[in-house]
């Protein structure tokens, strides 16, 4: 399960996303549960999404079917949410310039910030997978161009962790 905490104009929303199948998710917002089906697979990772579920390969608009309480749909804040979700680089950019998660898990620590110079093998982050702390080392020498994750964030296999500045 993934938990997104969004702060929208000072109001906090906690959104829990449970993957049921590759294109089906259960989304819980404010105590209401919805079954969500991904309707397409356009690559919209770098844009703002209303509302959006990220599936690791980018994100796409969703069809929301209120499952438990239909009337709740109007009360639930999800319809009015316009916020960028935790950013992921588009899959196409996952070249050697990007360090990606080797397996699904949760980021426990991020040890670098944008502009840091790192050497190959230097610890960039700690990934908790199967309750084990895994050191994620820099794949090359270079300068960190972008950090895609924050501590406490769940990542899937192949999600970008950091990007290196290309020479």
Binding residues (CB under 8 A) for another protein: these are 20-22, 102-103, 121, 129-132, 134-135, 137, 139, 157-158
Whole-angstrom distance, CA of residue 107 vs CA of residue 128: 6
6 versus 101: smaller Cβ distance to another protein: 101
Shortest Cβ 157–another protein spacing (Å)? 5
Q: Which is nearer to another protein, 83 or 134 (CB)?
A: 134
CB atoms closer than 10 angstroms to residue 28: 16
Structural contact between residues 79 and 38, judged by C-beta atoms closer than 8 angstroms: no
Measured distance CA(155)–CA(148) in Å, rounded: 10
Based on CB atoms, which residue is closest to another protein, 6 or 118?
118
| 3-class DSSP state of 149 | coil
From the CB of 40, what's the least distance to another protein, in Å?
Answer: 18
Minimum gap (Å) between residue 12 Cβ and another protein: 24
**Smallest distance from the beta carbon of 27 to another protein, in angstroms?**
15
- What residues have CB less than 8 Å from 148, skipping those under 6 apart? 86, 87, 88, 89, 159, 160, 161, 162, 163
Reported as type and span, the H/E element at residue 57 is none
Closer by beta carbon to another protein, 6 or else 127: 127
């Amino acid at each position: 399960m993934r938990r997104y905490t969004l702060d929208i104009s000072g109001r906090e929303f906690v959104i829990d996303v449970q993957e049921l199948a590759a294109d089906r998710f259960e989304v819980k917002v404010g105590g209401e549960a919805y079954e969500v089906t991904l309707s397409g697979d356009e690559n919209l990772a770098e844009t703002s999404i209303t509302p959006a579920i990220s599936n690791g390969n980018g994100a796409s608009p969703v069809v929301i079917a209120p499952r438990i309480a239909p009337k709740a749909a109007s009360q639930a804040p999800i319809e009015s949410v316009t916020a960028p979700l935790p950013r992921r680089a588009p899959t196409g950019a996952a070249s050697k310039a990007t360090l990606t998660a080797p397996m699904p898990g949760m980021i426990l620590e991020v040890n670098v910030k944008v502009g840091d110079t790192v050497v190959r093998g230097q610890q960039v982050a700690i990934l908790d997978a199967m309750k084990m702390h895994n050191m994620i080392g820099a794949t090359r020498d270079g300068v960190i161009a972008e950090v895609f994750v924050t501590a406490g964030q769940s990542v899937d296999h192949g999600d970008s962790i950091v990007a290196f500045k290309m020479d």
